[in-house]
Amino acid sequence: MQTSQVYRITVEGRLDENWAQQLGGMSIDHGNGDGGQPLTTLVGSLPDRSALLGVLNTLHDLNLTLLTVEVVDDN
């Protein structure tokens, strides 16, 4: 049985906060990479891997370059 996990996903580019609901309710933060390129970081709890796949597919459909996907350790 899978349990929910907290993920941190970073993509290149800017993603409007209005997308949070379509992305599993993840929080959306903006920053810049080392080279000054715009980055968006999503953080939030997803109930299972199929929800994670849905978020990743949406980011792909938006033509955003995926940089990292991390499980945030609660410990």
Dist CA 2 CA 38 (whole Å)? 34
pTM: 0.91
Please report the domains of the chain, with CATH numbers, ordered by start residue. Answer: 5-71 (3.30.70)
User: With pLDDT > 70 as the criterion, what percentage of the chain qualifies?
Assistant: 95
Residue 3 pLDDT: 81
Residue 49 pLDDT level (bands cut at 50, 70, 90) = very high
Q: Which amino acid is at 62?
A: L
* CA angle, 52 then 11 then 67, to 5°: 85
Dist CA 54 CA 23 (whole Å)? 8
